[in-house]
Amino acid sequence: MKKILYTLALAVTLWSCKTGSTSGKSNIVGVNINLVDVKDDKVLVTVTPPKIKTDEIIYSIPKTVPGTYSTDNYGKYSEDFKAFDVKGNALTVKRLDDNSWSISNAKALAKITYLVNDTFDTEKGTGFGNDDVFSPAGTNIKAGVNFMVNTHGFVGYFKDNLEVPYKVTITHPETLWGATSMTDEDASNTSDIFTTSRYAVLVENPIMYSKPDYTTFNVNGMDILIAVYSPTGKYTAESITPEMKTMMTAQKNFLGKVNATKKYTVLLYLSSMAKDDAHGFGALEHPTATTVVLPESMPKEKLVESMKDVVSHEFFHIVTPLTIHSKEIQYFDYNAPQMSEHLWMYEGVTEYFANLFQINQGLIDEAEFYTRIADKIEQAKSLDDTMSFTVMSKNVLEQPYKDQYLNVYQKGALIGMCIDIIIREKSNGEKGILDLMHKLSSEYGIEKPFNDDELFAKITSLTYPEVGEFLNKYVKGTTPIPYDFYLAKVGVTKAREKKAGPIFLKGQTPYITIDKQTKEIAVRSDIEPNEFFKNLNLKGGDKILAVNNKAYSLENIYDLITESETWKENDPITLKVKRGTKEETIKGTVKLPFEETETFKATDASKDKLKNAWLKG
């Protein structure tokens, strides 16, 4: 998974004025999802059980799914749960909790039905630390327009029947097309049939139904499908395909032999950011797919940039945890999940690769790579640097560990970097952490998990004692990592640089607000203005009515902020403002708020060979 801290998503609170199925009792689970007759924003799901031999059976929808590391209770979006025998008589049903129902006289059970509500409607969009279902793992029901079928939100499982095959029939409007890595076994334009060998495979295969907008291409033997839902039609699959192709080719080149996936699907859902639309931005990984949710208002440059970071991260999850993982993940319990100790690897090393491959394959330069490392160090500082990473990982569903989860993308990635540097140093530049991951993937694999408590010893035996010492002291232990010490090994030291910050936000605090009565955008008077405001002589209380001849108000304030991210120093700018009751036009230039920030620089030429092996090897 990758969660993105999209500044808008945080700022938003400030201005949000607040049918029949498969037959018989064969040993499969038959499911019908009806996307045609949507009533009150709810979808009818009909399930035919496999042969039940007990008097009572429990049907459950997941409490959590792999990769999210959070408790989401997908069952709470289901209601009106009914069970019937073959003659259509109702059987007694008892709801056990948010996610489970117990059915009596289960030997007579012929089918169950229930209505599913979507999660996108309920997201509050206050950024992190809320209990929303993360949008890329969530569901969307917008009749006739878009259905985000994250299968675990619609389909559950019968207790002790997780290994039974599934046959899922989805009836859908003819105008909508289902994008997925699964193969539709039905020629009809209004129904799709997907079969999977077991429940877990179904959960790993999301489907997005929308007006067909997709591209396909092949990268080194892998078929890639990119499907896009853009509510206003601002973006198409075609418009982002060249960048995706360049990036995924680079990823395949970087990864080498690890990956054997034949088909890979990218499902991109662009949110309008309206109150009843998705607000959790980022993506969730699957072995042959990823679901991505981003705001449609992002300018093209930003969207492509985010897609690069997010999709590459999800794609590298093929290495870990999708190939290399512990028993907790292999034998995942959807309603009583056990967490593994090794988020530093699943999320951290993955995030490190998503940055390293970009410099390795020439998509970014050295300065950009160091800026990213410095950002991660800076962001890790705001989290608990003395919490054991393995303890946090094991207990990530509970507080106080839950709030530290975000550190997997920061400190987790930096752990990956330090291990990479140690291995480079010890092997005279010959090997790095990617070689270690290759070795681990041949040692373990998709069907061969490791024991959580044996991983450090295994890694040490495959590398050097120094790697083992690092893992014990800084990953299991509570000692903060001295990053300067490790970066010095490759001749890299601290430096300062001037960097332009966002115009309308200081950290997470906006410089602008909304006039509750008029819905106009107002300059705040309770915050010291930055260079941009001072240079244009904007005063607290001024209403910004238009910028460069485009009108703005509460309705499209997101557009203003996202567009401002593309403004360059000294660009000409024209504002229409209202001061008191008087409207006036201000013509001037853009002055960006520059701040001095920390970064890194290669300063020791004697280490160049090792540094180049690290970044370009």
Residues of this chain that bind Zn ion (CB under 5 A): 1-2, 347
Query: Of 1 and 164, which has the nearer Cβ to Zn ion?
Result: 1
Least Å distance between CB 297 and Zn ion? Answer: 24
Q: Are residues 318 and 438 in contact, defined by beta-carbon separation less than 8 angstroms?
A: no
Single out the residue of 8, 263, 281 nearest to residue 138, CA to CA. 281
Query: Of 42 and 308, which has the nearer Cβ to Zn ion?
Result: 308
Query: Of 213 and 347, which has the nearer Cβ to Zn ion?
Result: 347
Q: Are residues 295 and 562 in contact, defined by beta-carbon separation less than 8 angstroms?
A: yes
Query: Of 134 and 504, which has the nearer Cβ to Zn ion?
Result: 134
Query: Of 118 and 347, which has the nearer Cβ to Zn ion?
Result: 347
Q: Are residues 338 and 397 in contact, defined by beta-carbon separation less than 8 angstroms?
A: no
What is the rounded distance in angstroms from the CA atom of residue 473 to the CA atom of residue 4? 29
Query: Of 1 and 203, which has the nearer Cβ to Zn ion?
Result: 1
Please give the structure tokens belonging to residue 164: 């039974």
Least Å distance between CB 347 and Zn ion? Answer: 5
Query: Of 181 and 290, which has the nearer Cβ to Zn ion?
Result: 290
Least Å distance between CB 180 and Zn ion? Answer: 20
Least Å distance between CB 478 and Zn ion? Answer: 24
Query: Of 343 and 521, which has the nearer Cβ to Zn ion?
Result: 343
Least Å distance between CB 321 and Zn ion? Answer: 9
Query: Of 205 and 320, which has the nearer Cβ to Zn ion?
Result: 320
Least Å distance between CB 71 and Zn ion? Answer: 18
Least Å distance between CB 259 and Zn ion? Answer: 16
- Block residue for tokens 């962001």: 379
Identify the DSSP state of 374. Answer: H
Please give the structure tokens belonging to residue 484: 């300067």
Query: Of 65 and 487, which has the nearer Cβ to Zn ion?
Result: 65
Neighbours of 184 (CB within 10 A): 15
Least Å distance between CB 316 and Zn ion? Answer: 8
Least Å distance between CB 309 and Zn ion? Answer: 11
Q: Alpha helix locations (H) across 409-550?
A: 411-426, 433-443, 455-462, 465-470, 483-488, 531-535
Q: Are residues 269 and 229 in contact, defined by beta-carbon separation less than 8 angstroms?
A: yes
442: region left, alpha or beta (phi > 0 left; psi from -120 to 50 alpha)? alpha
Please give the structure tokens belonging to residue 479: 């000692």
Query: Of 446 and 495, which has the nearer Cβ to Zn ion?
Result: 446
Do you find a cis peptide bond into 449, omega within 30 degrees of 0?
no
DSSP string, 563-585: HHTT--TT-EEEEEEEETTEEEE
Query: Of 83 and 322, which has the nearer Cβ to Zn ion?
Result: 322
Least Å distance between CB 294 and Zn ion? Answer: 15
User: Looking at beta carbons, which residue is closest to Zn ion?
Assistant: 1
- Integer angstrom CA distances of residue 269 from 226, 306, 556, 612: 11, 13, 19, 38
Query: Of 118 and 328, which has the nearer Cβ to Zn ion?
Result: 328
Least Å distance between CB 408 and Zn ion? Answer: 8
Using CA atoms of 452, 454, 455, 457 in order, give the dihedral in degrees to the nearest 10. Answer: 160
Least Å distance between CB 313 and Zn ion? Answer: 6
What is the rounded distance in angstroms from the CA atom of residue 300 to the CA atom of residue 308? 12
Query: Of 352 and 401, which has the nearer Cβ to Zn ion?
Result: 352
What is the rounded distance in angstroms from the CA atom of residue 587 to the CA atom of residue 336? 61
Do you find a cis peptide bond into 529, omega within 30 degrees of 0?
no
Q: Are residues 64 and 332 in contact, defined by beta-carbon separation less than 8 angstroms?
A: no
Least Å distance between CB 273 and Zn ion? Answer: 23
What is the rounded distance in angstroms from the CA atom of residue 486 to the CA atom of residue 418? 6
Least Å distance between CB 98 and Zn ion? Answer: 25
Single out the residue of 350, 28, 339 nearest to residue 158, CA to CA. 28
Q: Are residues 112 and 106 in contact, defined by beta-carbon separation less than 8 angstroms?
A: no
Residue 73 one-letter amino acid: N
Using CA atoms of 445, 339, 386, 285 in order, give the dihedral in degrees to the nearest 10. Answer: 60
Least Å distance between CB 3 and Zn ion? Answer: 8
- Integer angstrom CA distances of residue 93 from 109, 111, 493: 11, 12, 65
Angle, CA 161 vertex, CA 158 and CA 167 arms, to 5°: 85
**φ, ψ of residue 581 in degrees (nearest 5):** -110, -5
**φ, ψ of residue 29 in degrees (nearest 5):** -100, 120
What is the rounded distance in angstroms from the CA atom of residue 208 to the CA atom of residue 228? 9
Residue 152 one-letter amino acid: H
Query: Of 48 and 350, which has the nearer Cβ to Zn ion?
Result: 350
